[in-house]
Amino acid sequence: MKGNAIQSRHRFSVALLLAAFVLLMSAEYAAAKVNGAIYMYNLSDFTGVIPYNWSALSVDKERNEIYVIYKNEVEVFNEKGMKIYSFGDDENLRGVIADVTVGRDGTIFLLLSEGDIYSVVRCNYRGEPVAPIDFRNFPGQFSKFLPGRIIYRNGDLYLADLVFSKKVVITDSDGVYKDGYELDSILALKDIEGKPGQEKEIAGFSLDRDGNMLFTVPTIFKAFKVSSDRKVQMFGEAGNIPGKFSVVAGITSDDAGNYYVTDTLKSVVMVYDRDFNFIFEFGYRGDQPGNLIAPRNMVVNDGYLYVSQSRKRGVSVYRILQD
C-alpha cells in the first residue's frame, strides 16, 4: 500500500510538472508578439561586408548556420554572421544552383537546373556531391515541373515551381512522391482581380513552424497561408501606408507565429501577428545602417531576421524583439 501511495504521488507530481510546462509554453507562445527589430550587422567575410545583390537565402536551424546562394556558389555563415566556408564549384555538379536546403542530419540537398531539366543532388556536410535523388511516382499533372525552390522539413522535401507551373510537390528524402499542390486552383488566383494585363506570379515561398506553406502574389497584393489539407487563409491589401502592400516579395515566419513580408517598392519589412494583424514595419530606403534597398528574400533563425536586398547592399541582419 505504501508503495502504491508513493507511485501515485510520483505520477501526480509528473502530471503537475507537465501541466505547468504546457501552460508555460502556451503563455510564451501567446505573449511572443514582435515589438521591434534592431539592425545588428551585415553578413561578412574577413575583408568586410559581402556586397550581395538579391541573393537567395536558406537556413540550417540545427547547426545555426545561414546559407547564401549567389553566382552559382553557396556560402555558409555562422551565428555571428561570418563566412565560414563555401561550395558549389565541384565539376561533378551540372547546371545552375537554384536553391539549397539542409536535413536534420546535416545532409545538404542542392537543387540544380539546366535548361528545362532540374535535379537534386544529395551532398555531405561539406557540400561534396554524394548521389543524385531519383524522383519517382509523380502523377501525370506534376510531370511538367521546374522547381526553383526546395525546403527540407521533417524528413520531406518541398519542391516549389512558382513561375512556370505554379505547383508544389512533396517527396520523401529519397524522392518518392507524397503529395502535390496546384496553386492556381488552390489559391483561386483566377477569381481574384489583379492589375490589368499582369500575370499573377508567385514571388515568396516558405514554410511556417507547423508546416503550412506561405506565398505572396504581388500583382494582387495578397499573401497566402495554405495548410496541408489545403485550407487557405489570405491577408494584405493595396496601399502605400504602413501595413499595406505595394510590391511584396519574400515571406517568412518565426517560431512564435509572427509573419514577415518584404515590400520591394517601399523598401520595408512588414510584421504581422499570428492573426495577420499588422504590428509595425522597418527598414526604409536609405544609405544608413539598418535601411534597406528593395528587400526581397528572408529567413528567420534563433531570434534573428536575415534580409537580402539589391544595389549590392548584401544581407542585413536584425535582432527581433519580442514581449
Helix (H, G, I), strand (E, B) or coil at 201: coil
Amino acid at 216: T
Kindly tell me if the per-residue pLDDT of 197 is higher than 70.
no
- Position 28 scores a pLDDT of 41
Q: What is the dihedral of CA 78, 80, 82, 87, to 10 degrees?
A: 10
- Position 253 scores a pLDDT of 97
Assign 18 a pLDDT band (cuts: 50, 70, 90): very low
- Position 21 scores a pLDDT of 36
CA distances in angstroms from 100 to 1, 50, 149, 150, 320, listed in the order given: 60, 19, 8, 6, 25
Region 199-225: what's the mean pLDDT?
A: 94
- 304 alpha carbon, distance to own chain's centre: 13
Kindly tell me if the per-residue pLDDT of 105 is higher than 70.
yes
Region 86-112: what's the mean pLDDT?
A: 93
Region 191-207: what's the mean pLDDT?
A: 81
188-192: long-range pairs with CB below 8 Å, 24+: 188/232, 189/217, 189/220, 192/220, 192/222
Mean per-residue pLDDT of the chain: 90
- Position 29 scores a pLDDT of 42
Region 188-216: what's the mean pLDDT?
A: 86
Kindly tell me if the per-residue pLDDT of 20 is higher than 80.
no
User: 27-36, 126-135, 140-149, 281-290 — which is least confidently predicted?
Assistant: 27-36
Kindly tell me if the per-residue pLDDT of 131 is higher than 50.
yes
- The burial class, CB within 10 Å (0-12 / 13-18 / 19+), for 232 is middle
Kindly tell me if the per-residue pLDDT of 252 is higher than 80.
yes
Place of cell 519542391: 159
- Position 92 scores a pLDDT of 81
Kindly tell me if the per-residue pLDDT of 10 is higher than 70.
no
Kindly tell me if the per-residue pLDDT of 3 is higher than 50.
no
Is 285 in contact with 21 (CB distance < 8 Å)? no
Neighbours of 296 (CB within 10 A): 22
Helix (H, G, I), strand (E, B) or coil at 85: strand
- Position 175 scores a pLDDT of 97
CA distances in angstroms from 308 to 54, 213, 253, listed in the order given: 5, 21, 16
- Position 107 scores a pLDDT of 97
Kindly tell me if the per-residue pLDDT of 225 is higher than 80.
yes
Q: Identify the residue with better confidence: 65 or 32.
A: 65
Assign 124 a pLDDT band (cuts: 50, 70, 90): very high
- DSSP annotation of 286 reads S
- Position 17 scores a pLDDT of 40
Region 26-34: what's the mean pLDDT?
A: 55
Q: If phi over 0 gives left and psi between -120 and 50 gives alpha, with beta otherwise, what is residue 167?
A: beta
Place of cell 539546366: 114
What is the strand order of the sheet 65-70 is part of? 56-60, 65-70, 73-77, 83-87
Q: Identify the residue with better confidence: 141 or 30.
A: 141
Q: What is the share, in percent, of the chain residues with pLDDT greater than 70?
A: 89
Q: Identify the residue with better confidence: 318 or 91.
A: 318
CA proximity to 206, closest of 237, 251, 142: 251
Instruction: Determine the Cα–Cα distance for residues 83 and 106; give it in Å rounded to an integer.
Output: 18
